[in-house]
Structure 1
């Protein structure tokens, strides 16, 4: 059972924080003055970070695996990324505060496992906004096999946190190749080979294009949130949360059972399902809306809604009335009680990928 620890600077998520509280105190007495020389080279920044009071006083829970400089914010002042391994494994990120001219803790993540876990550095992509996206493999050895997931770590869009922009499960026979000069990577599993390219804050492959997660609330339109008035939006769940993280934010479900082949957590008015461990939940299912009409929804989203229908399980007495639409890079599938202009919303599916 994994133990999830909330990040230091958290707006949403994903990815966990735990470090010695003593390391959070910034002591600037021995810090060099940098403003007259900004920016340094990457190697100079690394040496400054390693010589800082913060790093010298830092308690690392176990064996250090690697130290990299990663410019998550794209401001030519890279962050110090420290990975450690063991039964407690994770990473710690140090950040240079330009105001105090000192290094200080910024973000961290820790896992617990019974055997061994570590993070493995695979390179850095540069996005269009000059922000670094780090390719990091989360490896965990378990009694029944190994779990290996490639994460594209990035800064949240509001700059408050480090999140996994996208994640990809690697299997025992998977081979990963990374070309940082072209922002591309390939994953070959058996005879199946797929190429991925980072372009315009999205990952494109032969099969799909998926936006990088923002680290922000799923719906940011205040009028839509007010209209929907749903318990789900009080949970702080965001796209990019894995199944365990989403459960951790809400608490124990009323029921956990299989639905259409996947393990799902059911709460009073919503549920979500596990695709694979450590892979973000891609869709959330909301129900029990009150007096929300097609017309009121159209007025808030600023677009017309065309209701279609189909026979569920081929049963002419069981008709599903639905409409798909997109708003702020979120895909919605809405179900209604009928297809007339005064139709009322009965359920809503939220997804990062287009819904069929």
Structure 2
């Protein structure tokens, strides 16, 4: 009898254990199912991200009064496959700029990433974006100054500065259409009545027929464009940086061979180069001239910089053939050693505008 009772109890315990196991397993499966569903709920398209952003109303929580917002644009600035949202804004007291919102994957909320404030502006619009080669994207905007000059602003994320910077600015006709093809990285616009089409090249240029626009990756424009771009050409490296202190630079590189005046500015002359202040009383270096010891021609520079903006004979102090490039805030002039445009380039002049 006892043995029979033990057998019945054993069966009961076995049934209870099986029952508990059966009830627990579906709970685990249900929990796993919930996690899968939660992961899938994140937006997959730009349109879905924009809708999620607008629902959160993150832009309305910023310290801006009497503000109007433009149409939002989704731009993947940092290449992490979750786009940021850009909203152009204007206020009654004539503040203009772009709010950039970023989605926090942990808290699942939208937060202000950056507020880019513009000056001397009367209207702005965030247009669209184009894809860069590193999976990040370039924002393209249309901006009109108080002098009624209209330009396309190009904004990208700078890993050097760890923020959004203006990579380039292009003058356009205000009353003509701007066409942007994000997938093909193409931009077409009108300038002085002529249509211009530019395509991304090597992740640093927007290039087209007779046009080549450099896309900065750092706010240090001169260092970027001289060391990175001109530095690819076969010339000596620049030992100084324009805009830095004239006196401090002299102390850093040593006593000059002599100092002289050039167009009202004081210059320090060394063996193969000299640099100048623009005016007496101002300490920042605004001009640099260097000899080029290597035997190179304008064709070597064209491989890096494209076609020059201007070229022709100059006579200061000797008649030579020169070529001029305008790179952002700087003018670069290359001088040959003769009146022959095919002659060797033996001098480079860099001037801050």
When normalised by structure 1's length, the TM-score is: 0.53
Q: Which of 1 and 2 has higher RCO (CA within 8 Å, sep 6+)?
A: 1
Q: Would the alpha carbon gap of residues 170 and 210 (structure 1) be closer, same or farther in structure 2, given more than 3 Å must change?
A: closer
Contact 2:313 2:322 in 1 (8 A): no
Count of aligned positions: 246
Aligned partner (choices 200, 219, 232) of residue 242 of structure 2:
232
CA contact (8 A) 2:314 2:320 kept: no
Q: How does 1:157-168 map to 2 (within 5 A)?
A: 157-158=159-160, 160-168=162-170
CA deviation after TM superposition for structure 1 residue 72, in Å: 1.2
Does the residue aligned with 1:139 lie in a helix, a strand or coil? strand
Q: What residue in structure 1 maps to residue 285 of structure 2? A: 270
Deviation of residue 131 (structure 1)? 1.5
Counterpart of 1:81 in structure 2 is 86
Give the alignment's Cα RMSD to 1 decimal. 4.6
Hey, what does 2:132 align to over in structure 1? 127
- How far did 1:219 drift? 2.9
What is the CA–CA distance in structure 2 between the aligned matches of 1:307 and 1:128, rounded to whole Å? 31
Are 2:325 and 1:318 aligned? no
Contact 1:120/1:139 (<8 A) preserved: no
* DSSP-derived class of the 2:72 partner: strand
Query: How far does residue 137 in structure 1 lie from its aligned partner after superposition?
Result: 0.2
1:84, distance to aligned residue in structure 2 (A): 0.9
Match for residue 137 of structure 1 among 134, 138, 142: 142
Determine the C-alpha separation between the residues in 2 that align with 1:156 and 1:119: 22
Mark the CA change 1:211 to 1:38 in structure 2 (over 3 Å): closer, same or farther: farther
* Candidates 212, 217, 226, aligned match of 1:214: 217
- Where do 5+ consecutive residues of structure 1 fail to align? 1-33, 236-253, 256-264, 272-284, 296-303, 325-329, 337-344, 352-356
Residues 260-293 of structure 1: CA distance to partner in whole angstroms, max 9, x if unpaired?
Answer: xxxxx7654533xxxxxxxxxxxxx336x9xxx8
Tell me whether 1:45 sits opposite 2:55 in the alignment: no
Equivalent of 1:176 in 159, 175, 178 = 178
CA contact (8 A) 1:54 1:104 kept: yes
Taking the aligned partners of 2:100 and 2:171, their CA distance within structure 1 comes to 24
Aligned to 2:207: 204
- Consecutive unaligned residues in structure 2, runs of 5 or more: 1-36, 232-236, 246-263, 266-277, 299-311, 325-329, 337-345
Aligned-pair CA distance for 1:99: 5.6
Q: Taking structure 1 as reference, are residues 332 and 88 closer, same or farther at Cα in structure 2, changes over 3 Å only?
A: closer
Report Cα offsets for 1:121-151 as digits up to 9, x if no partner.
32221122222222210124x4xx5221111
Instruction: Select 1:58's aligned residue among 43, 56, 62.
Output: 62
Distance 1:73 1:39, change over 3 A: farther
Aligned in 2, Cα 1:57/1:193: closer, same or farther, shift over 3 Å? closer
What are the residue-to-residue correspondences of 1:186-201 with 2, within 5 Å?
A: 186-189=188-191, 191-201=193-203
Change (3 A) 1:228 1:183: closer
Equivalents in 1 of 2:133, 2:297: separation in Å?
38
| Partner SS, residue 162 of structure 1 | strand
Bigger Cα Rg: 2
The answer as to whether partners of 2:173 and 2:193 remain within 8 angstroms in 1 is no
User: Any idea what SS the aligned residue of 2:217 has?
Assistant: coil
Contact 1:39 1:77 in 2 (8 A): no
Q: Equivalent residue of 2:98, what SS?
A: strand
Cα distance change of structure 1 residues 313 and 135 upon mapping to structure 2, 3 Å threshold: closer
Alignment of 1:91-110 (within 5 A): 91-98=98-105, 102-110=109-117
Label 1:323 to 1:196 Cα distance change in 2 as closer, same or farther (>3 A).
Answer: closer
**Residues 71, 319 of structure 1: alpha-carbon distance in 2 compared, 3 angstrom cutoff:** same
Alpha-carbon distance between aligned partners in 2 of 1:65 and 1:173, rounded to the nearest angstrom? 19
